[in-house]
C-alpha cells in the first residue's frame, strides 16, 4: 500500500491528488482510530478545524467537517489560523483532535491535511498508519442525536494572539518591524500579536485573496521584505510562510538572518537566563558549521538530527530539550508551543533586541556563516552512497585536508534518485572545489545499471 501520510501530513494537488472524497474518508478514519484509542471516552468527541487562505481550503474544510460530524464528532471551526495556532487551540479547548488544512510554503494549487492529537501534538506514525489501513472499511454510522454538531468558534485569532503576546515579559515599545505574512494564515494573527506586544508594525502581503498565498512573498521570497525594511526605516523584518510555522528575518540594512542565526540568538538568550534545558540546542545536520562553532564558543551544546523538523521535535521530546530548529526557519520553543511557530519566534527575537538594546545585525553576528555549497547529483543509485569504498575514501581524503576548518555531508534524497553533496569551507572557492570533486566521484561510482 502506498503511504498517504508524508513527513508533514497528507499533501498533494488539491482536487486532483487531494480530493474532497479523500479528505472526508481520512477524517472518518481518524475519528474511528482515535475513538478506539479512548481519546473521546467520557464526553462527546470534539475536534477543531483550521485552514490557511487557499481557496481549496474551503471545500476541503467542508469535506473534513462532513466526515467528522458523520462519525459523531462535534466540530469547532477556527477559520483561517496558523498551524501552531490550531495546535494551541486544540490544547486550549481540550479537543481530542485538531485538523489543519495547509500545504505550508508550497504553491497555491497544493493543499494538505495535518492531524493533531490531544494537546496539539503531531500524530505518531503508528496512528497515521492505522488511519491509512482503515480507509474504505465499512462502518456503523451514528444517527439522530449521535451525529456531530458543527459551530464556528469566533475568537480563535484573538485567543491565539493573546497567548503569543503572553510568552514575552518585556514590551516591544520603540521597535518598528515589517512583517511579511505571505498572504497566508497569519495575516490577522501576526500583526495583532506584535502590536499587542507594543511594536510598531508594517504588515506586507497581508491581503490574501485565496490565490496569492506564497506568491513571490513570505519566507521563500525575501526581496519585498528587504526593500520594505529599508524603505520604512524599520529595526528588522520577519517573513512567515503560508501556515506561519516558520520565519526568516532581515536586519535594518536588508541583510538576511537565517534560521541558524535566529537559533543562535535564542540559544544564547535562554542560556543567559538560565532557561536553556541542559544548556543544549537541537539542530539538524544541515546547520552551518559556523553555528556549531559559535554555540560551542558560547557554552551551548548542539545535538544534531536528520533533516526535518519532526526529527528535531522528536529529539527534544526524548531528551528534554526546550529549543530546536532548522536553517529554514522552523524554530520550536517547546516551553510555549508544540510545533514551530514563526510569530512566536519573531516575538522572542524582538524581545532579545528590546532587552539588550542591540540591533538584529549585532545579535546575529555571534556566528559567522561558513560558505556552503550544495550539489545535487541526479540519476545515481543512492542506495549505495553509504557503502561504496571508493566514495568513502574520497570523502575521507577531502575531510583530512579540511580538518576542523570545514565539513562534508553526503545525503541520499528521501524521494528522488539523488545524492546531495554539501560542503562547508573557509572560502567559497574551496567549498566549490571539494563539492565538485566529490560530485564527480558520486557520478562515477554510483552509476545506475
From the candidates 27, 56, 102, 104, which is the catalytic residue? 104
Strand order in the sheet with 331-333: 301-305, 280-284, 323-325, 331-333
Rg, C-alpha atoms of the chain = 23
Q: From 349, 337, 332, select the one nearest 257 (Cα to Cα).
A: 349
Q: Across-strand partners of 375?
A: 421
Three-state DSSP class for residue 63: helix
Q: Are strands 200-204 and 176-180 parallel, antiparallel or unpaired?
A: parallel
| Residue 287 falls in the annotated catalytic set | no
Distance between CA atoms of residues 129 and 117, nearest Å: 14
Answer yes or no: are the C-beta atoms of 210 and 53 closer than 8 Å.
Answer: yes
Answer yes or no: are the C-beta atoms of 88 and 48 closer than 8 Å.
Answer: no
Distance between CA atoms of residues 155 and 80, nearest Å: 11
Kindly state the cell numbers that stand for 264.
543562535
Distance between CA atoms of residues 84 and 434, nearest Å: 40
Answer yes or no: are the C-beta atoms of 329 and 341 closer than 8 Å.
Answer: no
Distance between CA atoms of residues 258 and 329, nearest Å: 7
The CB density around residue 395, as the number of other CB atoms within 10 Å, is: 19
- Report, as residue numbers or ranges, the catalytic residues: 104
Amino acid at each position: 500500500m502506498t503511504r498517504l501520510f508524508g513527513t508533514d501530513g497528507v499533501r498533494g494537488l488539491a482536487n486532483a491528488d487531494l480530493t474532497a472524497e479523500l479528505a472526508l474518508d481520512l477524517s472518518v478514519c481518524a475519528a474511528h482510530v482515535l475513538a478506539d484509542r479512548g481519546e473521546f471516552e467520557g464526553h462527546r468527541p470534539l475536534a477543531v478545524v483550521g485552514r490557511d487562505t487557499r481557496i481549496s481550503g474551503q471545500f476541503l474544510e467542508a469535506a473534513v467537517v462532513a466526515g467528522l460530524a458523520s462519525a459523531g464528532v462535534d466540530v469547532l471551526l477556527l477559520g483561517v489560523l496558523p498551524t501552531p495556532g490550531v495546535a494551541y487551540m486544540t490544547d486550549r479547548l481540550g479537543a481530542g483532535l485538531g485538523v489543519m488544512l495547509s500545504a505550508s510554503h508550497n504553491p497555491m494549487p497544493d493543499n494538505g491535511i495535518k492531524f493533531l492529537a490531544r494537546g496539539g501534538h503531531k500524530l505518531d506514525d503508528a496512528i497515521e498508519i492505522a488511519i491509512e489501513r482503515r480507509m474504505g472499511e465499512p462502518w456503523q454510522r451514528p444517527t439522530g442525536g449521535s451525529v456531530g454538531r458543527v459551530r464556528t468558534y469566533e475568537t480563535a485569532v484573538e485567543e491565539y494572539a493573546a497567548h503569543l503576546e503572553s510568552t514575552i515579559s518585556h514590551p516591544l515599545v520603540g521597535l518598528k518591524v515589517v512583517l511579511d505574512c505571505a498572504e497566508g494564515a497569519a495575516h490577522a494573527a501576526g500583526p495583532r500579536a506584535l502590536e499587542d506586544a507594543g511594536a510598531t508594525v508594517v504588515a506586507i502581503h497581508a491581503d490574501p485573496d485565496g490565490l496569492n498565498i506564497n506568491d513571490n512573498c513570505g519566507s521563500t521570497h525575501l526581496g519585498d521584505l528587504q526593500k520594505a525594511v529599508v524603505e520604512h526605516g524599520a529595526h528588522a523584518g520577519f517573513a512567515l510562510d503560508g501556515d506561519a510555522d516558520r520565519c526568516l528575518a532581515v536586519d535594518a540594512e536588508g541583510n538576511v538572518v537565517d534560521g541558524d542565526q535566529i537559533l543562535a540568538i535564542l540559544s544564547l538568550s535562554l542560556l543567559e537566563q538560565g532557561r536553556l534545558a541542559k544548556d543544549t540546542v537541537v539542530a539538524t545536520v544541515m546547520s552551518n558549521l559556523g553555528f556549531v562553532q559559535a554555540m560551542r564558543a558560547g557554552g551551548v551544546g548542539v545535538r544534531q538530527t536528520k533533516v526535518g523538523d519532526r526529527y528535531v521535535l522528536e529529539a527534544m521530546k526524548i531528551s528534554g530539550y526546550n529549543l530546536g530548529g532548522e536553517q529554514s526557519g522552523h524554530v520550536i520553543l517547546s516551553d510555549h508551543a508544540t510545533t514551530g511557530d514563526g510569530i512566536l519566534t519573531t516575538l522572542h527575537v524582538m524581545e532579545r533586541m528590546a532587552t539588550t538594546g542591540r540591533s538584529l545585525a549585532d545579535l546575529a553576528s555571534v556566528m559567522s556563516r561558513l560558505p556552503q555549497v550544495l550539489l545535487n547529483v541526479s540519476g545515481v543509485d543512492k542506495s549505495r552512497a553509504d557503502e561504496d569504498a571508493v566514495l568513502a575514501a574520497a570523502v575521507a581524503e577531502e575531510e583530512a585536508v579540511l580538518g576542523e576548518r570545514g565539513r562534508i555531508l553526503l545525503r541520499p534524497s528521501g524521494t528522488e534518485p539523488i545524492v546531495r553533496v554539501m560542503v562547508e569551507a573557509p572560502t567559497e572557492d574551496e567549498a566549490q572545489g571539494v563539492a565538485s570533486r566529490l560530485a564527480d566521484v558520486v557520478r562515477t561510482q554510483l552509476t545506475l545499471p
